[in-house]
Amino acid sequence: MTLWGGRFDSPMSRALWDLSESFSFDRALYAHDIRGSQAHVEGLRVAGLLSDEEAALLVETLEVVRREFDEGTFTPAPGDEDVHMAIERRATELAGPVGAKIHTSRSRNDQVATTLRLFTRDALGALGARVLELVDALVEVAARNDGAYLPGYTHLQRAQPVLLAHHLYAHAWSLLRDVDRLLDNRARMNVSPLGAGAIAGTSLAIDPAVTASLLGFDEAFANSMDAVSDRDFVAETLFDVALIGVHLSRMGEELVLWTSAEFNFASLGDDFTTGSSMLPQKKNSDVAELARGKAGRLVGNLTALLVTLKGLPLTYNRDLQEDKEPLFDSLAQVDRVLVALAGAYRSMSFHRDVAAAAANDDLLVAIDIAERLVEEGIAFRNAHERVGRAVGDAVRRGVSLATVVAESDDLAGYADLFAPGHALAARRSPGASGPAALVDQRRRLEKRLAAAKRRVLS
């Protein structure tokens, strides 16, 4: 039996039931739905629509239902179409006739909007904390490999030497922006839709501000139609997660490269790699590939919701029920990737000699020679041209740039620039990749990380 039996002569067909039931997945919302219902009951009491005794009984009964869910003893009934109806049905069974008053001045439309906001608000904080755990891992790995460096790449061609810490911090900065984005979203979405009813509010004397404040929202909705139909916060969350996924994917791709025999800059721990069912020698970085691979799914979930929303007339349409599975899926998947990637980084051995040798490729010194010429008063474009000719000679003759420089009349005095590690140390402008600049960057990063941790918890 559904709760709207009065108007209907025959029960819902099996086919429609299978299409429309959502309890199988939205039961994940039970705790937030119960919290919303308890606030709603209190709002009815304040409005004089429930007596003190009735309200106390309903709040206590809802608590019993919550315990049933917590303990896994909640038994769905055949008519429990979604988590909202399941909870109301069970609370009514337990509380008796007063149960029939729970849904006064409320619709599942404002109810589900409220429940999903409460759920998403918590999820955003939890996700932010997870992202920060990965940032912690990056910071740790940087500290553990103090002084290690590698070639930095543009176009995947060796460009200039960079400290490993500088490289890992680059990812940390993008993850910190992700956390900012999650928290901005959390602040923007913190508006209560409860009290909007089905679409147009109610003739009963409720005050949505009362329930808004009980539920920790900053304010109540201003427009009942917007309140019940807005899913921007879900779309934003899916975008935030998709962008995190894109960042994790880029990190994953890099680990795949670093751990290949061709680069050999790093290896992951045995506990974060997999073997091959056929090839005995294989040690695969599946963790990094899955970090890369999951991004497709996360972008897909965002796309799915945006397409669902795009043609909807105001206000609530059942299409909106399709908001939940992409949201749950994206949150669950990104969480797994974040945890596994943090573990993978922590398990990583960085091959500092291999990476340093690659970074000491003498072609990477070309820019330092040009900059030395600039210091001596030559215009940069002319300096670039002069060093470019030396590089061309070296490549044509099949000798090193150092050789060509040593043999030349005008550049021979710059042999010191080829000393291993010199090009790295020379990157000392603010924000640059060398050790002197890193000191300030590390300070800024630690400050920003600490602030993000405080905000996530607040």
> Catalytic residues, which ones?
155, 276
d(CA 366, CA 53): 83
The size of the interface with ligand ARG (CB under 6 A), counted in residues, is 11
- Pairing relationship of beta strands 219-220 and 191-192 according to DSSP bridges: parallel
d(CA 122, CA 23): 21
Q: Dihedrals φ, ψ of 162, to 5°?
A: -140, 145
Q: How many other C-beta atoms can be found within 10 angstroms of the C-beta atom of residue 32?
A: 21
Whether 111 and 84 have beta carbons less than 8 Å apart is answered as: yes
Residues 298-327 that bind ligand ARG (CB under 6 A): 316, 318, 320-321
Q: Given the rule CB under 6 A, which of 50-58, 108-116, 279-287, 400-408 is the region that contacts ligand ARG?
A: 108-116
The contact pattern for ligand ARG, residues 79-98, with x = CB under 6 A and - = no contact, is ---x-x--------------
Q: Looking at 32, 101, 108, 171, which residue binds ligand ARG (CB under 6 A)?
A: 108
Q: Looking at 92, 105, 109, 224, which residue binds ligand ARG (CB under 6 A)?
A: 109
d(CA 335, CA 340): 9
Residue 394 contacts ligand ARG per CB under 6 A: no
Residues 53-82 that bind ligand ARG (CB under 6 A): 82
Nearer to ligand ARG (CB atom), residue 78 or residue 377: 78
Q: What is the smallest separation between the CB atom of 81 and ligand ARG, expressed in angstroms?
A: 7
Nearer to ligand ARG (CB atom), residue 171 or residue 324: 324
For residue 416, the one-letter residue type is D
Residues 250-269 that bind ligand ARG (CB under 6 A): none
Q: Looking at 44, 86, 112, 365, which residue binds ligand ARG (CB under 6 A)?
A: 112
Tell me the H-state helices in 145-267: 164-188, 208-214, 224-229, 232-258
Nearer to ligand ARG (CB atom), residue 221 or residue 258: 221
d(CA 227, CA 225): 5
Nearer to ligand ARG (CB atom), residue 116 or residue 127: 116
Q: Dihedrals φ, ψ of 158, to 5°?
A: -55, 130
Q: What is the smallest separation between the CB atom of 113 and ligand ARG, expressed in angstroms?
A: 9
Q: What is the smallest separation between the CB atom of 301 and ligand ARG, expressed in angstroms?
A: 16
Q: What is the smallest separation between the CB atom of 426 and ligand ARG, expressed in angstroms?
A: 59
Q: What burial class does residue 6 get, using C-beta atoms within 10 Å of its C-beta: 0-12 exposed, 13-18 middle, 19+ buried?
A: exposed
d(CA 244, CA 181): 10
Nearer to ligand ARG (CB atom), residue 55 or residue 320: 320
Q: What is the smallest separation between the CB atom of 2 and ligand ARG, expressed in angstroms?
A: 10
Q: What is the smallest separation between the CB atom of 225 and ligand ARG, expressed in angstroms?
A: 14
Nearer to ligand ARG (CB atom), residue 316 or residue 418: 316
Q: What is the smallest separation between the CB atom of 108 and ligand ARG, expressed in angstroms?
A: 4
Strand residue runs (E) in 194-337: 219-220, 266-267
Whether 294 and 334 have beta carbons less than 8 Å apart is answered as: yes
Whether 149 and 359 have beta carbons less than 8 Å apart is answered as: yes
Nearer to ligand ARG (CB atom), residue 232 or residue 270: 232
Residue 223 vs residues 193, 195, 217, 228, 450: alpha-carbon distances, Å: 9, 10, 16, 9, 38
Q: Looking at 22, 273, 308, 360, which residue binds ligand ARG (CB under 6 A)?
A: 22
CA angle 417, 421, 423 (to 5 degrees): 50
Chain residues binding ligand ARG by CB under 6 A are 22, 26, 82, 84, 108-109, 112, 316, 318, 320-321
